[in-house]
């Protein structure tokens, strides 16, 4: 057995995704059609998603087969390594054994390709010619561009204007894979034009970009919409992370005591944790830890209720931990964690006490990231660094020699400007006053 | 057996580096001390290198053991995968089988860490406290910073001033690992001050940065100098690439017909190719192809003679293919290939007809890089893309189903600005007129 990593064979890439909804000991609150106030029907989503993905979104089947053409593309980088952080352990002088599942090994450097590839595949199969999506910092836009290129689909990415100008390099990746990248708000959509008429210098937001991407998908029958987190089918595709991790831990002859992942919309957390939920139901000693920024603390300080997924109230209502769909998080560098809500599946697990949530400010998170980079040699993405920070804290307190497993969702090669700012003392923490949370939660629709 | 990649176990990390000098059927021209005009003695280098590295530089032993602490660090990312480029093959509709040895999997994203780690180790063991080095685009500076951090050595990197300002992100990596990065020419050294007195706005060159780094090593007994290419001991450490590749090809049940790598100073090329030179001596059908830019064509258009390694004439004289130590290459984006000479070992192989050299302009190189990124999903570094271009050309002409193996020396995540320029049609080719080459070669010292 290797000391530092377990890399499985391609035949160990799972044949099926795992649907945690099949094994939950409680009912999942259904999504609601805001027009009718009734549970969403499959047809309600058919203007923007193909039937196969809507089927997965609603499914209660435990296992859902991964199509061969998807596994064929997965093979380019999967299975990803499970690495033991031996140098980090030494540095911390901890008794813990620390592992990390290295999703940074993907073509775009994050876990997002795990769902981008099947989403592109199912849309292509349904005769769709083009996908539209939104992106903030660009991780999701890059991943979907990679996947659309692989299946010969067009792709238009509405990128929040401030990131479009400030974060040029994930945009470069999207261009390399042939996508069109539009600064949002744009003149290409009605909602964009409306916003620009009100404020020609508007710098955009994720909510606005979602509105533009959805509008484009609704109005053209050959264009569909794709989302990179939050929804059930997205987290389903990501379970490949946890399924591989389980096999790899067996090779290391380990059972995890702590599973740690960062959480924004919830996709890397869910994909990593869901395959372990059955173990948690049997063994309460297992801790599944979701880590979020103090600047956007939906799980630790939000309310559990029905809310819209976007600021423009275009999406179905989802029951989730949320700060309110009008909540505008501070400009922290973990752009992927700046989302007002959290996946309904993850939220339900949290509401039922199956997972714990913690939050950290970005200064302590970057400090942990630096420790990781200096010991393990890999520079973590700012989002991923939240999980690293929590794991280091657990390891420091550990007197018993626990097994800690981190979901290492992505590398920071395209986030080095943020590291520069941290090293130059230009960053600060953002704590959220209770009054602001209360104010944001006032916008929650009543259901 | 896997279809897409062979990843060896950590116990397959070679125990020894391979010294090709032991197996060459010809004499290697010795380095010359420019002061005495006589072959260099070991003591001539002791002001800047530890005895162990000087020993390796001069050694004729076939195998040189890799120290355990070096293998311990190698384990963080080695063995690197040998991947089959199946999607590229499909796209090209070629009969060839194309493989690439993925050195981009290292912590800094290139092969440079393979020698940075042992260089830091041997210096630490010799009681050295700090290394000084130069870097252009920053690949080498980042790798040495990573290695110095791992062994608790200080590191000062003299970074060519124009790159210091234009290429901030490899500088960020160096800062993360705790190095001091100085824009060269600087006020910290005599040679720097001299240059700045003449021209306060001087943007620097690799030659100037070498002078500053060497000066600093000479004047302080606890500071040594480290070089990222050209020298025998550097290429020795890189043979770990070729040794692993040989084992992996056996698992794929392949014998290579073509081995293709880019060449600047020669370190990834040499490290990849040397372990196959004995096969070449037995089987002339094996083609070992070195690929360089038309803007800096030392092997294809340079002269084979003794020359200095730097513009300031501080180094020993090395017999190599060179364009003359005063040659200033055009500002192509493959910064790692902008070196006037080529490693003495690689040069001797070329002079003896054991390898072939080809050159390409950067437009055709970026076009090939885009094809690779679109099929294999990995964005290659501009340097690496030279090898990709040559391999694609070979595969396109192949009627017989050859086995082509590329040394994939690094990824392009930190070179995306160059891709932007290519996609925006802002790049051009640089062909070198014969008169310029003749002019540059006039400066060759006579030996």
Q: What is the CATH number of the domain that holds B435?
A: 3.40.50.1100
Taking contacts as CB-CB distances below 8 angstroms, the residues of chain B near A151 are none
Q: Where are the alpha helices (DSSP H) in A167-310?
A: 168-176, 190-198, 206-219, 232-251, 267-273, 277-282, 298-301
B4 within a domain of the structure (yes/no): no
Cα A202 from Cα A184, distance rounded (Å) = 9
- The confidence score (pLDDT) of residue A336 equals 87
Asked if B275 has any chain A CB less than 8 Å from its own CB, the reply is: no
pLDDT tens digit at each of 447 positions of chain B: 678 999 999 999 999 999 999 999 999 999 999 999 999 998 999 999 999 999 999 999 999 999 999 999 999 999 999 999 999 999 999 999 999 999 999 999 999 999 999 999 999 999 999 999 999 889 999 999 999 999 999 999 999 898 888 888 999 999 999 999 999 999 999 989 999 999 999 888 887 898 899 999 999 999 999 999 999 999 999 999 999 999 999 999 999 999 999 999 999 999 999 999 999 999 889 999 999 999 999 999 999 999 998 877 888 999 999 999 888 888 888 888 988 999 999 999 999 999 999 999 999 999 999 999 999 999 999 999 999 999 999 999 999 999 999 999 999 999 999 999 999 999 999 888 888 888 888 888 876
Where does the pLDDT of residue A21 fall: very low under 50, low under 70, confident under 90, or very high at 90 and above? very high
Q: Where does the pLDDT of residue A310 fall: very low under 50, low under 70, confident under 90, or very high at 90 and above?
A: confident
Cβ contact A176–B419 (<8 Å)? yes
Q: Determine the average pLDDT of the residues in A30-57.
A: 95
- Residue A447, pLDDT above cutoff 90: no
State the burial class of residue A123 (Cβ atoms within 10 Å of its Cβ: 0-12, 13-18, 19+). buried
Q: How far is A96 from chain B (nearest CA, A)?
A: 19
**C-alpha of A67 from chain center:** 22
Peptide bond into A185 cis (omega under 30): yes
Q: Note down the domain range covering B82.
A: 77-109+233-441
The CA distance from A447 to the nearest CA of chain B, in Å, is: 45
The reply to whether residue A176 touches residue B379, judged by beta carbons under 8 angstroms, is yes
Residue B169 contacts A where some CB pair is shorter than 8 Å: yes
The answer to whether residue A223 sits within a structural domain is no
In a domain, A169, yes or no: no
Whether the ipTM is more than 0.90: the answer is: yes
Partner residue facing B413 (CB), from A177, A414, A423 = A414
pLDDT at A1 over 80: no
Model pLDDT, residue B331: 81
Check if A168 contacts B (Cβ < 8 Å): yes
Q: Chain A: give the shortest CA distance to residue B76, in Å.
A: 7
User: What integer pLDDT is reported at residue B339 of this predicted model?
Assistant: 87
Residue linked to tokens 């292509």? A124
A90 touches chain B (CB under 8 A): no
In whole numbers, what is the pLDDT of chain A averaged over residues?
94
B223-225 and B130-135 strand pairing: parallel
Best of A172, A251, A388 to substitute, by most chain B Cβ atoms within 10 angstroms, is: A172
What is the average pLDDT across A22-36?
95
Asked whether the beta carbons of B309 and B228 are under 8 A apart, the reply is no
CA B383 to chain centre: 9
Does this model's pTM top 0.90?
yes
Our count of domains for chain A comes to 1
Q: Residue B127 burial by CB count (10 A; 0-12/13-18/19+): exposed, middle or buried? A: exposed
Phi first, then psi: what are they for A391, rounded to 5°?
-65, -40
Is any Cβ of chain B less than 8 angstroms from the Cβ of A419? Answer: yes
Does residue A43 surpass a pLDDT of 70?
yes
Interface test with A, best of B144, B165, B172, B410 (most A CBs within 10 A): B172
Residue A140 resides in a domain: no
Residue A413: list chain B partners with CB under 8 A. 109, 169, 413-414
Q: Is residue A3 part of a domain?
A: no
Domain contains A336:
yes
DSSP B159: E
CA distance A159 to A168: 11
Residue B142 lies in a domain: no
Q: B370 and A3: CB-CB below 8 Å?
A: no
Question: What pLDDT does residue B336 have?
Answer: 87
A173–B contact, CB cutoff 8 A: yes
Whether the CB of B378 is below 8 Å from some CB of chain A: the reply is yes
Q: Is A62 helix (H, G, I), strand (E, B) or coil?
A: coil
pLDDT of residue B433: 86
* Residue B391, helix vs strand vs coil: helix
Of A149, A175, A377, the CB nearest to B146: A377
Contacts of A225 (CB under 8 A, 6+ apart): A48, A49, A131, A132, A133, A213, A214, A216, A217, A218
pLDDT score of A291 more than 70 = yes
CB contact, 8 Å: A371 with chain B?
A: no
Give the per-residue pLDDT at A284: 85
Our CA-based measurement puts residue B279 at a distance from the nearest CA of chain A, in whole angstroms, of: 30
Read off the DSSP letter of residue B48.
T
Q: Which bin fits B178, alpha (ψ -120 to 50), beta or left (φ > 0)?
A: left
State whether B176 and A9 contact (CB < 8 Å).
Answer: no
Q: Confirm whether A173 is domain-assigned.
A: no
The CA-atom distances, in angstroms, between B23 and each of B54, B61, B280, B281, B416 are 20, 9, 12, 10, 41
**A5 — contact with chain B (CB < 8 Å)?**
yes
B contact test, residue of A10, A11, A72, A76 with most B CBs within 10 A = A76
Say if CB B287 and CB B364 are below 8 A apart: no
Burial per residue of B308-321, b for 16 or more beta-carbon CB atoms within 10 angstroms, e otherwise: bbbbbbbbbbbbbb
CA angle B402, B405, B411 (to 5 degrees): 145
Q: Of the candidates A107, A370, A417, which has its C-beta nearest B176's C-beta?
A: A370
The pLDDT value recorded for residue B1 is 62
φ/ψ of residue A156, rounded to 5: -120, 125
- Tell me if B175 and A419 make a contact (CB, 8 A cut-off): yes
Structural tokens at position A301: 């300080």
> Testing the interface with A: which of B89, B90, B416 to mutate, by most A Cβ within 10 A?
B416
With an 8 Å Cβ cutoff, is B301 touching chain A? no
Q: Measure Cα distances from B102 to A75, A412, B80, B99, B392 in Å.
A: 15, 19, 6, 9, 17
The pLDDT tens digits of the residues spanning A197-223 come to 999 998 888 878 988 999 999 999 999
pLDDT, tens digit (0-9, with 9 covering 90-100), for A78-122: 999 999 999 999 999 999 999 999 999 999 999 999 999 999 999
Residue A78 pairs in a beta bridge with none
């Amino acid at each position: 057995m290797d000391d530092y990593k377990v890399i499985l064979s391609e035949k160990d890439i799972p044949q099926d995704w795992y649907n945690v909804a099949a094994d939950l000991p409680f009912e999942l609150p259904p999504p609601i059609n805001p027009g009718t106030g009734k549970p969403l029907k499959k047809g309600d989503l058919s203007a923007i998603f193909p039937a196969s993905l809507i089927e997965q979104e609603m499914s209660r089947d435990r296992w859902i087969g991964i199509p061969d053409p998807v596994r064929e593309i997965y093979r380019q980088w999967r299975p990803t390594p499970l690495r033991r952080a031996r140098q980090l352990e030494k540095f911390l002088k901890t008794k813990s054994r620390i592992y990390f599942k290295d999703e940074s090994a993907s073509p775009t450097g994050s876990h997002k390709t795990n769902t981008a590839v099947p989403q592109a595949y199912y849309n292509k199969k349904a005769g769709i010619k083009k996908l539209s999506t939104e992106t903030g910092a660009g991780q999701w836009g890059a991943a979907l561009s990679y996947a659309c290129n692989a299946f010969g689909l067009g792709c238009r990415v509405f990128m929040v204007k401030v990131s479009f100008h400030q974060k040029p390099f994930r945009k470069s990746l999207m261009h390399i894979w042939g996508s069109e990248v539009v600064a949002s708000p744009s003149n290409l959509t009605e909602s964009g034009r409306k916003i620009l008429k009100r404020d020609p210098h508007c710098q955009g937001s994720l909510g606005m970009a979602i509105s533009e991407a959805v509008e484009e998908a609704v109005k053209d029958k050959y264009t569909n919409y794709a989302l990179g987190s939050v929804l059930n089918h997205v987290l389903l595709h990501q379970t490949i992370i946890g399924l591989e991790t389980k096999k790899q831990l067996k090779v290391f002859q380990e059972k995890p005591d702590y599973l740690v992942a960062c959480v924004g919309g919830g996709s890397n957390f869910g994909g990593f944790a869901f395959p372990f939920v059955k173990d948690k139901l049997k063994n309460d000693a297992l801790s599944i830890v979701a880590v979020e920024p103090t600047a956007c603390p939906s799980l630790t300080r939000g309310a559990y209720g029905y809310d819209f997924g976007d600021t423009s109230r275009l999406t179905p209502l989802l029951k989730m931990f949320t700060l309110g769909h009008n909540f505008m998080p501070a400009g922290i560098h973990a752009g992927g964690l700046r989302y007002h809500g959290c996946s309904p599946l993850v939220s339900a697990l949290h509401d039922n006490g199956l997972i714990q949530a913690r939050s950290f400010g970005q200064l302590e998170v970057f400090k942990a990231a630096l420790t990781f980079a200096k010991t393990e040699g890999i520079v973590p993405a700012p989002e991923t660094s939240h999980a690293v920070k929590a794991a280091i804290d657990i390891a420091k307190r550990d007197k018993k020699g626990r097994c800690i497993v981190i979901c290492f969702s992505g590398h920071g090669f395209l986030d080095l400007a943020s590291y520069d700012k941290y090293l130059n003392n230009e960053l600060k923490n953002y704590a959220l006053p209770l009054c602001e949370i209360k104010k944001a939660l006032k916008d929650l629709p009543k259901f």
